Amino acid sequence: MNTYRFSIKTIAIMTIVSCTLACSDFLDEEDASNFTTDTYFTSAEHAESAVNGIYEPLIPITNSGFGGGTWLMLEFATGLANTALGQATNIYLVKDLINNSDNGYGESFWNEYYTGISRANLAIEKIPEINMDETAKQNYLAEAKFFRAYYYFGLVRMFGNIPIITDPIDLNSEQLYPEQADPAAVYDLIIADLTEAENSSLPWRDEAGRVSMGAIKTLLADVYLTSAGYPLQQTENYQLAAAKAKEVIDSGEFRLFDSYDELHDPATKNTGEYIFMTQFAANIQSGNWQPAILPYNLGISAYSAQTGGIFSTNEFADSYEVGDKRAEEKQFYFTSYSLEADRSDSTNLGAPYIFKLFDIQANEESAQSDLNWGIYRYADVLLMYAEALNEAEGPTVEAYNAVNLIRQRAELNDLTGLSQDAFREAVRIEQVHELSFENKTWYDMARWRKAYDPETNELKDFVGHTFTYLPNKALTERELLFPIPTSEMQNNPNLVQNMGY
């Protein structure tokens, strides 16, 4: 069964090994080099190893090549991205609103995130049994609960009614073919895990890139904000989201970078604006998305794979306000670059490619990226706080201050004197522009039930909205979720496919 293949395969192998040792007449004692889930978790090192494994499913999500990359699914669903990569079928299924359950990107999200959940479940069950320092034990458990919450948060937003698995699975488990849960129950589990994780002594920031208190509270603010919107509409959670985001702000541990160059400088990873990231290191586990953001075979990079996988539509790149620094060349986007064969010469790229994800040193020299992938940064928190506080209390001074910090860095005039409705629209558009191509916008569109129209700089009703490049085909309710992968539908008879797929 694909969804739970990690835990089932691992435990099945361990069971075979264990039976072989127990049943053999030829051995007088067990081989200490063989482990089962019952014998492995005996030391603090085992706890650390188990938790380290929960980080790993983040890495394949950003992997990119001539088949595109899993992370692209969330960008092409916004209608704000374009591609020159003709052979990446999964891109066009999403981009052209003809998606189906055979899409490999959706299957990758499902498999990797449930792999992370299965590893978190095992750690949460086994670590309490280890005789080790109690503070360290609670911190490892907090990391595991953060990740179980994070992976479920992604799955419930992408796929809606999903199975809840909270115990390690073996071949005899009742949860081997689980039924789907109501999204409200998934959110209850997510909030419970994060609330428990808050009780740890993890530091506000961890410059090694591990889960921190800042990451836990930021994720919880995001969860509260999302649950206040569609489909749950638990509007009382706007106040909780604002309060949690304010805790992050008041910690004083995070700040906006002074320049946008710092967003894609390897020297800044896990510092300053960055709260939580997927960790990469050149020549060890190199940042793996560069091929997707390079123009197709124009010879600007040291990378042999230059796929043209994703770039901004012209309409979106042009939708930023006049004078917005983010829209200037080589800030968020770039339209020309020097040639790898001769850096004194340059070429027009033909489209606005994504510079804020671009590793200059890797592309000009090594083809080994030392960049991390940003999951949460301080700009997210400021915008979450402004949006949530406006919904709870109206456009307060504090809400204005938060969003205007974003605008001041972009060299734009402060927002002022807006009604609650106008402030809501302004903050949401600021989110679309500031967090573009960071796997945020589609999630926002789904919880708002609004899509961004770059030609009018407005938010339109999601259902009925048309993308600029697809004017004769409108979004329907089905595009508020992705299809459950075909392999899961075939392997689990208890699953019901999402509407329209």
pLDDT above 70: residue 121: yes
C-alpha distances (whole Å) from 451 to each of 379, 380, 470 are: 21, 19, 14
Lowest mean per-residue pLDDT among 29-43, 100-114, 287-301, 430-444: 29-43
CA–CA gap between residue 403 and residue 426 (Å, rounded)? 9
**Alpha-helical segments (H) within 127-179:** 134-159
Q: What is the pLDDT of residue 1?
A: 38
Question: What digits encode the pLDDT tens for the residues 310-361?
Answer: 999 999 999 999 999 999 999 999 999 999 999 999 999 999 999 999 999 9
Question: What digits encode the pLDDT tens for the residues 213-228?
Answer: 999 999 999 999 999 9
For residue 258, give both structure tokens: 């002074």
Q: What is the pLDDT of residue 207?
A: 95
Question: Are 144 and 124 within 8 A, CB to CB?
Answer: yes
Domain segments of the chain: what residues? 1-22+35-182+454-501, 280-371
The model carries a pTM of 0.92
C-alpha distances (whole Å) from 449 to each of 253, 442, 464 are: 33, 10, 11
Secondary structure string (H, E, C) spanning 304-353: CCCCCCCEECHHHHCCCCCCCHHHCECCCEEEEEEECCEEEEEEEEEEEE
Q: Cα 226 from chain centroid?
A: 14
CA–CA gap between residue 451 and residue 445 (Å, rounded)? 5
CA–CA gap between residue 441 and residue 436 (Å, rounded)? 7
Question: What digits encode the pLDDT tens for the residues 30-80?
Answer: 444 455 666 789 999 999 999 999 999 999 999 999 999 999 999 999 999
Question: Are 378 and 256 within 8 A, CB to CB?
Answer: yes
Residue 213 or 24, more confident? 213
Assigned fold of 1-22+35-182+454-501: 1.25.40
Tally of helices (H runs) and strands (E runs) in the chain: 18, 12
DSSP one-letter code for 438 = S
DSSP one-letter code for 362 = I
